[in-house]
Amino acid sequence: MEESSPEVSNANLFEQQFAKKEVIHTTSGRTEFVDIEPLSPKDSVPVLLAPGWGDTPQSYKESLKVIHGGNRRVLSVSHPRRGESAVQDSDFPMAEIRKVKSLIGIIDQKNLGKVDVIAHSEGAINAIIAATLYPEKFRNIVLVSPGGLIGKDKFIKLIGRALISSFRDTTQAMRNSHEKGPFLNAVREMAKYIAENPKRAIIEEFNAMAKSDILEMVKNLHDGGIGISVVAAVDDPIFPISRMTEVLRRSEGVIDGFYSVKGGHNKLVTDSRYTRAAINALDGLRYKHQL
């Protein structure tokens, strides 16, 4: 009987671990997450993928597969839709602190020590807040199409740009067979996310995104030794690259690297090349900030 190739074994291992949802309970509610470890990790520090608004590990399945295929242990979270309605004693938006609690809860429960982070969209905001509150738990962070780096925004304008992005993404995904499956996966997850708590999902969380400005936190983390790079899509209508580059230009040296890539806001979900770009950015930070 022939032995399975390492690639097949690794693929089977991914599917088995991806199907096994783990759970933690915080004051934010019941939080599901996945923890997927390759046969021979090339780095003792795992990757935590901080999801964008409405996204879950199912949305990022292809991205997680790419990270795992590169022999990195990878975790990601499905943020709770219900639970605590208020968070006291915080200078940060309640909507983001709930998600911070999920990220930190996973790091603590799994005894991960330090993590590298790939944070997409709104995930950039709560990941940077988490690192600000608990810097000892983070090594390097790559922000992909990040929220919070275009200056203060307005709720209604952000909603409008998100709708434009959704229309563009739908049109493109329907034309590209390799993007259609991952895109529909993400749409289903987003629909469930909204349905379970519409007021929190749309009003509270979009308001938090519009009001968030993470530039000073990014600067402080970078100055404190945490490597930070940005991967920005040139056709992203939600967090336009022109506004982002203007904000970053006014604060020279705030990040280690800035990578502009073709495409729209949700390419991390639908196109594996963008995941590889994020991993390459993480590798660059690893070599620059060798511990």
Q: For 169-227, what is each residue's pLDDT tens digit?
A: 888 878 887 888 888 888 899 998 989 888 889 999 999 999 999 999 999 999 999 99
88: exposed, middle or buried (C-beta count within 10 Å: 0-12, 13-18, 19+)? exposed
In whole angstroms, give the CA distance from residue 66 to residue 63.
5
Q: How far apart are CA 1 and CA 4, in angstroms?
A: 9
Average pLDDT over residues 252-270: 90
C-beta of residue 86 within 8 angstroms of C-beta of residue 109: no
Quick check: 8 pLDDT over 70? no
Residue 58 identity: Q
- CATH number listed for the domain at residues 6-288: 3.40.50.1820
Mean pLDDT of 93-103: 94
Question: What residue spans define the domains of the chain?
Answer: 6-288
Q: Which two tokens stand for residue 33?
A: 């997450």
CA neighbor of 137 nearest in space, from 216, 32, 62, 221: 221
Q: pLDDT-derived band of residue 18, with 50, 70 and 90 as boundaries?
A: very high
Q: What pLDDT, on a 0 to 100 scale, did the predictor assign at position 36?
A: 97
pLDDT in tens, 126-177: 999 999 999 999 999 999 999 999 998 999 999 999 999 998 888 887 888 7
Instruction: For 30-43, write each residue's pLDDT tens digit.
Output: 899 999 999 999 99
pLDDT at residue 126, as a whole number: 97
Q: Which of 230, 278, 285, 281 is nearest to 67 (CA)?
A: 278
Give the pLDDT confidence score for residue 1 in this predicted structure: 42
How confident is the model over 51-59, as a mean pLDDT? 95
Q: Are 122 and 147 in contact (CB under 8 A)?
A: yes
Q: What confidence score (pLDDT) does residue 5 get?
A: 54
